[in-house]
């Protein structure tokens, strides 16, 4: 009779709390199990279109948010966007994950498509599911970098230049040589370069009259010593998604693409503060393309989305927002009728087009990437 009494005295606290503790243990176990099950069902990348989403891996601020919500209301799938700042970053992520990234669509620049296809990162496109491809102008389909559009469809095309803060840089800048010069003088410590290894190289090549696709080791060595000795100390940041910096007047000199420059200038409280420059020596010409990632969990939604964006009305909305030429037949007239702001930055005039050169994947690519890494390491004070 005495023993139960003693046990109670022996461990009073434990007995008192045993119920709540058991409930706690059981509760957390139950919670854990439910959480795990919930997680498995919501996070299943391989679940196909049952989860009804669409995951797009693209550049920053590269789609009109209204277009995306319109797509969701029209077709159903909710879109998630993840962004990258350069093609190597996108390729690195896709190839490291070997198809498990969960992305459906990616947006490679033209020069990378062959490489990505060879590496097995892209799905071959079934054109029967993209009837709106017929809306594209001849210039952007069946191109040398993707004959027959096996892997990609044109999203938009554009060129590279820079903007500068006219309140800080009081002189007129007109060329890449001016850009590199101002970077070392007025804009020192307040300039940014694109995160794109090749684009940074092109600033030097164009400023020195060298073909942007050069593989001459002497040229590349000269580029290396210039960029690391002369420019690296003055760089404040490497940034591809520049419109936020432009609109908040964060830097004096910003290397950027024409559409981002336009977005930034239009969003700036003082629209005349930044001036966009089409450099006189010429610049890079590029085309960004929709491509479907191999192993895409929502392939149907991917095709639907790409087809949706190729519609002239939707394409016009995109163009009005992102400021890049989407390559749809008659888009320029439609845009001008819609009173597009700063058409000069979207529709490139013929005399500028003459000086633009398509970038190519050359044998010097590896060296140029290495120089860019060194530049990043040496940059800033």
Partner 1 sequence: MTVAGGASPRLPSRRRIRPADTFLNVWGVLGLVFLFFPIVVIVVFSFNSGRTLQTFDGIGMEAYVAALSNPAIVNSITVSLITATGTAVVATLLGTFAGIALTRQPGWWAPGLLILLGLVMVTPEIVSAISLLPWFVTLGVDNGLAAFNIGQVRLIIANSLFASAVVTFIVRARMTGMNQSLEEAAADLYAPPFRRFTDITLPLIRPAVISGALLAFTLSLDNTVVSSFVSVAGSTPWPVYIFASLKASLRPEIAAMSTLMLVLTLIVLAIAALILRRDPSGSGGGAAGLTSAMVGR
Partner 2 sequence: MTAVEERSAPTQTAADTPPGRRRLRLPGGLGAVPISLWILLFFILPFGLVVWYSFGYKPGIYETHANDILSLDRYGEAASPAFFAIFLRTLKIAVTGTVLCLLIAFPMAYWMAVKLAPKWRGIVLALVLIPYWTNFLVRTIGWQISLSPTGFVSKLLQWANLTDGPMHVLYTSAAVQLGVVYNYLPLMILPLYVALERLDPKLLEASRDLGGTAWDTLWRITAPLSAPGVTAGMLLVFVPLMGDYITPTVLGGASGSMVGQMVAAQFQSAQNWALGAAMAVLLMLAIFGTSAVVGGILKVAGRITTAMTSLKLPSKEPS
Q: Could you tell me the two tokens for 90?
A: 């996108």
- CB atoms < 10 A from the CB of 170, how many? 7
The option from partner 1, partner 2, none interacting with 128 (CB < 5 to 8 A, set by class) reads none
88 binds partner 2 (CB under 8 A): yes
Say how far apart CA 312 and CA 321 lie, in whole Å.
Answer: 14
Task: Select the binding partner of residue 21 from partner 1, partner 2, none (C-beta < 5 to 8 A, by kind).
Answer: partner 1
CA 30/CA 26 separation, integer angstroms: 6
How many secondary structure helices (H) and strands (E) does the chain include?
15, 10
Could you tell me the smallest distance in angstroms from the CB atom of residue 288 to partner 1?
16
- Assigned token pair, 39: 């997680």
**Residue located via tokens 């990348």:** 45
Among 42, 46, 73, 96, binds partner 2 (CB under 8 A): 96
d(CA 134, CA 2): 93
Among partner 2, partner 1, none, residue 27 binds (CB under 5-8 Å by kind): none
Say which residues have a Cβ less than 8 Å from residue 275's Cβ, sequence separation at least 6: 163, 164, 166, 173
Q: Which of 91, 220, 292, 309 binds partner 2 (CB under 8 A)?
A: 91
CA distances from 164 to 193, 244, 268, 284 (A): 12, 14, 13, 19
What is the rounded distance in angstroms from the CA atom of residue 271 to the CA atom of residue 38?
49
Contacted entry of partner 2, partner 1, none for residue 82, CB cut-off 5 to 8 Å set by kind = partner 1
| Distance separating alpha carbons of residues 38 and 46, to the nearest angstrom | 15
Site residues for partner 2, 97-116, by CB under 8 A, read: 115
What are the percentages of helix, strand and coil residues in the chain, rounded to 5? 50, 20, 30
Applying CB under 8 A, among 78, 93, 129, 275 the residue interacting with partner 2 is 93
Applying CB under 8 A, which of residues 82, 89, 181, 332 lies at the interface with partner 2? 89
For residue 179, how many C-alpha atoms fall within 13 Å in the half-sphere facing its CB? 34
Give the residue with the Cβ less far from partner 2, 199 or 365: 365
User: For partner 2, which is the closer residue by CB, 203 or 315?
Assistant: 203
* End-to-end Cα, the chain, rounded Å: 82
Q: Minimal distance in Å, beta carbon 248 to partner 1?
A: 5
37 binds, among partner 1, partner 2, none (CB under 5 to 8 A by kind): none
43 binds, among partner 2, partner 1, none (CB under 5 to 8 A by kind): partner 1
| Alpha helix segments (H runs only) across the chain | 2-10, 12-43, 65-75, 87-97, 113-118, 176-184, 197-207, 217-226, 243-247, 258-267, 299-309, 312-322, 331-337, 350-353, 365-378
Question: How far apart are CB 337 and partner 1 at their closest, in Å?
Answer: 27
Cβ neighbours of 352 (radius 10 Å): 17
Q: Which residues contact 178 (CB under 8 A, 6 or more apart)?
A: 277, 279
> Which residues of this chain interact with partner 1, rule CB under 8 A?
7, 10-11, 13-15, 17-18, 21-22, 25, 28-29, 31-32, 35-36, 38-40, 42-46, 51, 53, 55, 57, 60-61, 78, 80-83, 85, 96-104, 239-241, 243-244, 247-248, 250, 267, 269
The entry of partner 2, partner 1, none near residue 365 (CB within 5 to 8 angstroms by kind) is partner 2
Only one residue has tokens 């040229």, namely 219
- What x/- string results for residues 194 through 233 when contact with partner 2 is judged by CB under 8 A? ----------------------------------------
CB of 293 to partner 1, least distance (A): 9
State the minimum distance, in angstroms, from the CB of residue 178 to partner 2: 21
User: Given candidates 27, 32, 131, 189, which one binds partner 2 under the rule CB under 8 A?
Assistant: 189
**Part in contact with partner 2 (CB under 8 A); list of ranges 59-67, 149-157, 186-194, 316-324:** 186-194
Q: Which of residues 237-276 bind partner 2 (CB under 8 A)?
A: 237-238, 248-250
By C-beta, is 94 or 207 nearer to partner 1?
Answer: 94
Task: Say how far apart CA 154 and CA 323 lie, in whole Å.
Answer: 15
Give the other-Cβ count within 10 Å of 32's Cβ.
10
String marking each residue 280-319 x if it binds partner 2 according to CB under 8 A: ----------------------------------------
Which residue ranges make up the site for partner 2 (CB under 8 A)? 2-3, 6, 9-11, 86, 88-89, 91-93, 95-96, 115, 118-119, 189-190, 192, 235-238, 248-250, 365-366, 369-370, 373-374, 376-381
């Amino acid at each position: 009779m005495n023993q139960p009494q003693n046990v109670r005295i022996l461990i009073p606290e434990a007995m008192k709390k045993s119920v709540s503790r058991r409930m706690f243990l059981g509760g957390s176990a139950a919670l854990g199990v439910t959480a795990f099950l919930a997680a498995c069902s919501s996070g299943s990348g391989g679940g196909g279109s049952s989860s009804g989403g669409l995951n797009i891996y693209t550049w920053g601020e590269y789609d009109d948010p209204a277009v995306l919500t319109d797509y969701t209301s029209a077709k159903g799938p909710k879109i998630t966007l993840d962004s990258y700042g350069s093609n190597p970053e996108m390729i690195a992520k896709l190839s490291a994950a070997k198809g498990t990234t969960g992305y459906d669509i990616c947006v490679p620049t033209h020069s990378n498509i062959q490489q990505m296809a060879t590496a097995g990162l892209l799905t071959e496109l079934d054109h029967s599911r993209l009837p709106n491809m017929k809306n594209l102008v001849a210039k952007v389909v069946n191109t040398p970098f993707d004959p027959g559009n096996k892997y990609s469809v044109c999203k938009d095309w554009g060129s590279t230049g820079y903007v500068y803060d006219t309140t800080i840089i009081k002189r007129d800048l007109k060329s890449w040589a001016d850009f590199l010069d101002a970077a070392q003088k007025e804009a020192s410590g307040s300039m940014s370069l694109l995160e794109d290894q090749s684009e940074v190289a092109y600033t030097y090549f164009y400023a020195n009259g060298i073909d942007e696709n050069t593989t001459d080791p002497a040229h590349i060595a000269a580029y290396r010593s210039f960029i690391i000795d002369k420019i690296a100390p003055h760089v404040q940041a490497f940034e591809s998604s520049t419109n936020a910096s432009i609109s908040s007047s964060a830097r004096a000199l910003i290397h950027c693409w024409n559409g981002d420059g336009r977005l930034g200038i239009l969003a700036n409280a003082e629209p005349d503060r930044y001036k966009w420059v089409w450099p006189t020596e010429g610049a890079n010409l590029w085309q960004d393309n929709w491509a479907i990632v191999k192993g895409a969990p929502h392939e149907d939604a991917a095709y639907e989305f790409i087809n949706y964006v190729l519609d002239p009305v939707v394409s016009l909305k995109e163009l009005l927002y992102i400021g890049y030429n989407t390559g749809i037949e008659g888009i320029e007239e439609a845009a001008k009728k819609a009173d597009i702001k700063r058409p000069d930055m979207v529709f490139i005039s013929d005399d500028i087009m003459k000086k633009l050169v398509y970038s190519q994947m050359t044998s010097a690519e590896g060296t140029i990437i290495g120089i860019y890494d060194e530049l990043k390491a040496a940059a800033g004070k």
